[in-house]
Structure 1
Amino acid sequence: MKTLENCYELNFSKINFIERKIRITHPKTILTGASKTGKSYLIYDFLSNFKSKDYIYIDLKDSRNNLEEITDNLDKYLRQNQITVLVLENFSFEFELPYCDNIIISTNTPKSIRGFKNITVSALDFEEYLLHDNRHQNITQSFNNFFKYGNLPEIINNEEHKKVQRLQEIIKLQAQNDTQFEILKLLFENIDEKKSLYQLFTNLKNKIKISKDKFYETCKTLEINKTIYFVEKYNQEKANKKIYSYNHSFLNSISHHKKFKNEFTNMIFLELIDKYKNIYYLDNIDFYIKSKKLAIVGIPFFNSFLVKSTLRKIYKIMDEYEIKELNIITVSNDEKISHDTFKINVIPFYEWALS
């Protein structure tokens, strides 16, 4: 039982955990979410409530761990050592779960099991990022780094010259092979674009050998584990969907071709996903929250004089869909716009994200 003995020796009492907006509060919990969003640290925080003799932590991706030994002996080992907390990291449900008072699972394959609570772990929102960022003393510096290097907890305090390299490594770690890596790159390169899967497939097919079924299947998997999001146009299911990544800075890490507006809009989207169940887009409107009669538009460098014609188009759509409020999110502009019918807010991202 060498694998189980070594796993039982692991002690997480000295892990430095920084607060998140979500925690593990249920004794039977399944964590899902994209790579490096902080699932493991939520588990370490949960384990800090117990003595090390009470839990066993098994990472199924650790090549030192013998799956056959775990499968054959886990139930007996838990009983022999009176273990009350079982953690299975990177678990793909290869074997039947034994009995244990507390079972915490992290997995790339979302699964519903009776008696278990499911939690999807997103990367840091801007408010959480500020709690983690101990290098910068003002919000402008923090915003600049958040925009440039993204929302993954481990990137924040990396050395500046290593951040892009680490982001590239994280993309490669997610890909099971070269084909999947090319699919991820293609999707990240098209954030905030309206593209059909067929268009994307056609572009990729000209570059590598891949079947349509394999491409569609991979995109579906990436959508299920929240690596990629596809946003529908409201009331038009057949219209091309807009593509977003769980980390807006991946685009900057794989391409020298700058798409500032696309990254900025993706960053706005990520502040919305845990707040609203249904998010759509409309013509000239980045995000439409029907339940709140709210429209959100990203205009990084807003100038009311220069965007008059754009605003007229937005107002027309708002009138058509009975939208009452418009939030224009900028990099740093803060402006008052009065309108007879609509409430218009022009707000810097960091102010909006923290409000």
Structure 2
Amino acid sequence: MNTLLDEYYRHDLHNPNFIERKASLNEESVWIMGIAQSGKTSLIKNYLLSHKKSTYLYLDCRDIRLEIHELNEHLEPFCREHKIKILALDNYRTNIKLFDLEQIILASEESNQSSFETLSLHLLDYEEFLAFESKYYDSSALNHFFQLGGFPAMHRLPSEDRPLYIQKTLFRTLNDIELSIMIQASKMVTQKVSTFTLYERLKSERKISKDKLYLHLQSLFDKHYLYGCEKFNHPSAIKKLYLCDIAIKHALILQKHFGKVFENLIFLELIKHDIECYYDEGIDFYLPQRNQIVLASAFANEHALFKKVEALEGFIIMHQVKEVIVVTMNLENVLSHPIAKIEMVPFSQWALGEE
């Protein structure tokens, strides 16, 4: 085992064409949580490469040569002998024993099971996407974002390889039941979906118990492959279902529905900016901390918007909503309404302003 550890220790790390993310590492021990291909490894390597090579040890715990029992026996003595200050365990497994060190960096899809700080690494938001795709910083950028989504590697792949890239990523990281759930979720994105509804869909395809389905579904939520949006003031109500990235929908099913994709993108921008949001009847997203309602309407028209807002007057008055933001593809306008300010904002402008 010491031979393998020494091999890792002497390897030169490579992290070509790294582009800065909004998330970054400091000198504290941390657990980086993010789905497969979200950029955890690049983030770690970029940080390590800013330090003297002899002070850190990077291990990829997927390496089958790293037999856990032997690793637990040899890792700490190796770090002490070589005066390692920073230990980075990529694709960390919880049966690897930790010990006191100046800094430990763990990366995993699993939730934090240590006393370290958690760094949740999302896929690219729209602003980060523009940094990765600087050549598209024009009118075509938004359309390109709809096609590629937020996986950092997508902008380097030919268009014909992108669906297979997503499929391979999911096949490698999810089990059969989780993959089946993701396929069904892709068909029901933005809908109010109960566990029972998913069970009814899946039991026609495979033998599965409700308990087993619940465990795997909860795992997908915990790892942030799926998100559920609560109904305002009704935490026990059925949640609306969203994917962690629209590219997954494109890769898993042929069904097209631009409106649902558009709404999913808006939800993800809210999540990535840590903005508290809920849904309600006729309301895509209610942001209580901002006294805002956000509606997803890619190709809105003023007459339909007035009708929609009229139906929401009771909610607007009761909760003292100050403005209704209608996120569109490219329409921009401010409408005069006696109850609340209605502002039509293009997605690109709205997403870049959501700090």
Q: Is the TM value for this pair above 0.5?
A: yes
1:264: Cα distance to partner? Answer: 0.6
Q: What's the CA shift string for 1:211-250, capped at 9, x where partnerless?
A: 1111101111111111111111011223210011111221
Deviates most, 298-307 or 197-206: 298-307
SS in 1 for 2:169: helix
Match of 2:68 in 1: 67
Match of 2:283 in 1: 285
Write the distance in 2 (CA, Å) between the matches of 1:76 and 1:172: 37
* Residue of structure 2 in register with 1:154 after alignment: 153
- CA offset at residue 141 of structure 1? 1.7
Aligned match of 2:117? 117
Q: TM-score scaled by structure 2?
A: 0.94
Using the alignment, how far apart are the partners of 1:349 and 1:258 within structure 2? 20
Q: Which amino acid aligns with 2:277?
A: I
% identical equivalent positions: 27
Alpha-carbon shift at residue 149 of structure 1 (Å): 1.8
- Partners of 1:341 and 1:179 lie apart in 2 by 48
The residue identity in structure 2 corresponding to 1:29 is: V
Trace 1:1-355 onto structure 2 (pairs within 5 A): 1-12=2-13, 15-114=16-115, 116-136=116-136, 138-176=137-175, 178-355=176-353
CA spacing shift, 1:172–1:13, aligned 2, 3 Å: closer
Structure 1 residue 172, shift from structure 2 partner: 1.6
Matches of 1:14 and 1:124, distance apart in 2:
18
Query: 1:190 Cα deviation (Å)?
Result: 1.7
Q: Give the residue type in structure 2 aligned to 1:87.
A: A
Q: Quick check: 1:175–1:181 contact (8 Å CA) kept in 2? A: yes
Is the contact between residue 231 and residue 242 of structure 1 (CA under 8 Å) also seen in structure 2? yes
The one-letter code sitting in structure 1 at the alignment partner of 2:21 is R
1:85-104: CA deviation from partner (whole Å, max 9, x where unpaired): 10011112213202221110
In structure 2, C-alpha distance between the alignment counterparts of 1:273 and 1:71, rounded to whole Å: 37
Matched residue pairs, number? Answer: 352
The Cα shift of 1:309 comes to 2.4
Query: Structure 2: which 5+ residue stretches go unaligned?
Result: none
Give, in whole Å, the separation in 2 of the partners of 1:185 and 1:3.
39
Q: Distance in 2 between matches of 1:248 and 1:315?
A: 32
Deviation of 1:26 (Å): 3.6
Amino acid at match of 2:88: V
